[in-house]
Amino acid sequence: MNKLRRKVYMTAGYNTVSMGTGRKEFHPKKPRPGLEDYIREAGRGVLKQVGGAGNIDEGVIGNFMAARFNGQGNLAALVPAIDEGLQWKPCTRVEGACASGALALTTGIKSVLAETADMVLALGVEVQNTVKAIYGADILATAGWSRERKAGHAYFFPGKFSDRAGAYYEKYGRDRTRQAMARWYRNAIENARLCPTAQEYHNTTADLDAAALAEPNPKSFVDHLNVLDCSKVSDGASAIAIASEAGLRRAGIPTSAAVEIVGIGQVEADLTVPPGDPTRLETTRRAVQCALASAGITVDKLATVETHDCFTIAGILAVEAIGLAGPGKGPDFVLDGQTARGGRVPFNTTGGLVGWGHPTGATGVHQAVTLWEQLTGRADRAQIAIPEDRPYGLSVNMGGDDKTLVALVYRRGQEK
């Protein structure tokens, strides 16, 4: 990627609750907020912080499959439903499966870089609890190649990552990997308990490791994962403002209240080709390399990472793909506590996909909001220390089985 010719910032993030099983207020049989309610809440949460819709030039909304989960297309036209001040402004809906949120970010970034906008409202949304999990699995399976569906597992993506986990166990040993996956789960829940919008905020399980080490049951689920190895079904939306310096100025927001996007890596892999080595996330690796290179930093400058742990094994594979541990060494890195909140590079500090939740189309935006909170000191009880000599945050958002990848590098905005 060419060097960015203009500074791009993100600020004024907002997350709705990630709603679904685990939240005390969730009742599967009672009416719940719909797609437009989540979009409105998240959008208004941003507008309130940027001085209103008048300061927004454009809207971008990321969503995976509202057409099937909610019978709703044309989502761009739900952006003006947030505020009448957005009526008649250009809006775009983008889709890249579970990376739809980050595609909304890169699309907004490009508008700012193209100087067609000084502030873009970027949103991500998904409302998935409209169908039972087994039918949701059909919908989510569309993130894979449709011709693979027939031979795929009933729970298609858990099946895909179960296969990856199985290959990893075989190559590097099962026990230590399972232990690391359980630790990943524990870290995720412990972090989620510090974030009131997290789906696992109310989780009270006493022995998280023991729960997570339950043996997989291939009869009712997949061969190599149990349900706690998987992110849950979630409803939610996240939003953030993407701005130029002029955009921030216009909204009266100091750059120190924003994060600067210093590196972008966006990589696509062929949907019709299975992964060469199932124990590696090659597309993720490439996206992170691009992002770090365009930021001009090395991996040891990272203070924190928000990665796409749709499954615990995906978290461990990402640790290796990012370059923090060599092949087969991800479990050690995790078990050594390096990814925990007190470790060298805290991962997913508000719970990630396993702990905070995974409203698919919102996840990429949620990651940006979390990093904005952490790097600008707004993370409240979930706040971690950001070392001065390692001031960078990295987000990794993945669509499909390592197909659509966006990695972004952030640092706190510098006052002039």
Partner 1 sequence: MEYAERLENVAVLGAAGKMGSGIVLLLAMEMADVGLKAENRSRRYVLHAVDVSHQALGGLVKYLRGQVLKAAEKKIVALRKVYADRADLVDNSDIVQQYVNDVLDVVRPTTMLEAAAEANVIFEAAPEDLALKLKLFARTATDNPKAPWVFTNTSSIPIEEIDEKARLGGRIMGFHFYNPPAVQKLVELIRSRTTTDDVAAFAELLCKNLRKVVVPAADRPGFIGNGHFMRDLLHAISEVDRLGSEMPLVEAVYAVNRVSQDFLVRPMGIFQLIDYVGLDVCQCILGVMNPRLTGENLHSPLIDRLLEQGVRGGQHHDGSQKDGFLQYQQGKPTGVYDPAAKRYVPIAEFQAACDARLGPLPEPGLPWKVAVRDTAKDALLARFFGQLRSMNTLGSDLARRYGIRSRDIGLKLVSDGVARTANDVNQVLLTGFFHAYGPVNEFFG
CB of 152 to partner 1, least distance (A): 8
Identify which of residues 119 and 137 has a Cβ nearer to partner 1 in the complex: 137
Q: Which residue has the tokens 């761009």?
A: 76
Identify which of residues 229 and 260 has a Cβ nearer to partner 1 in the complex: 229
Tokens, residue 113: 């870089």
- Contacts of partner 1 in 354-393 (CB under 8 A): none
Identify which of residues 136 and 278 has a Cβ nearer to partner 1 in the complex: 136
Instruction: Give yes or no for residue 137 binding partner 1 (CB under 8 A).
Output: yes
Identify which of residues 135 and 298 has a Cβ nearer to partner 1 in the complex: 135
Task: Point out which span in 28-36, 46-54, 216-224, 274-282 binds partner 1 (CB under 8 A).
Answer: 216-224
Instruction: Give yes or no for residue 221 binding partner 1 (CB under 8 A).
Output: yes
Task: Point out which span in 136-144, 177-185, 197-205, 371-379 binds partner 1 (CB under 8 A).
Answer: 136-144
Contact (Cβ atoms closer than 8 angstroms) between residue 185 and residue 312? yes
Tokens, residue 93: 């809906």
Instruction: Give yes or no for residue 135 binding partner 1 (CB under 8 A).
Output: yes
The contacts of residue 205 (CB under 8 Å, 6+ apart) are 189, 211
CB of 88 to partner 1, least distance (A): 40
Task: Point out which span in 80-88, 149-157, 195-203, 304-312 binds partner 1 (CB under 8 A).
Answer: 149-157
- Near partner 1 by CB under 8 A: residue from 48, 132, 171, 174: 132
Identify which of residues 150 and 381 has a Cβ nearer to partner 1 in the complex: 150
Instruction: Give yes or no for residue 29 binding partner 1 (CB under 8 A).
Output: no
Tell me, by CB under 8 A, how many residues bind partner 1: 15
If you compute the radius of gyration of the chain from its CA atoms, what whole number of angstroms results? 20
Contact (Cβ atoms closer than 8 angstroms) between residue 216 and residue 226? yes
CA distance 153 to 162: 10
| Residue 366: closest CA among 104, 86, 6, 187 | 104
Identify which of residues 137 and 396 has a Cβ nearer to partner 1 in the complex: 137
The contacts of residue 176 (CB under 8 Å, 6+ apart) are 331, 332, 335
Contact (Cβ atoms closer than 8 angstroms) between residue 307 and residue 291? no
CA–CA distances in Å: residue 36 to residues 39, 74, 196:
5, 12, 22
| Structure letter (DSSP) for residue 24 | T
Instruction: Give yes or no for residue 210 binding partner 1 (CB under 8 A).
Output: no
DSSP collapsed to 3 states, 144-193: CCHHHCCCCCCCHHHHHHHHHHHHHHHHHCHHHHHHHHHHHHHHHHHHHC
Instruction: Give yes or no for residue 233 binding partner 1 (CB under 8 A).
Output: no
The contacts of residue 110 (CB under 8 Å, 6+ apart) are none
CB of 138 to partner 1, least distance (A): 4
Instruction: Give yes or no for residue 150 binding partner 1 (CB under 8 A).
Output: yes
Identify which of residues 156 and 372 has a Cβ nearer to partner 1 in the complex: 156
Instruction: Give yes or no for residue 138 binding partner 1 (CB under 8 A).
Output: yes
Footprint on this chain of partner 1 (rule: CB under 8 A): 132, 134-135, 137-138, 141, 149-150, 153-155, 218-221
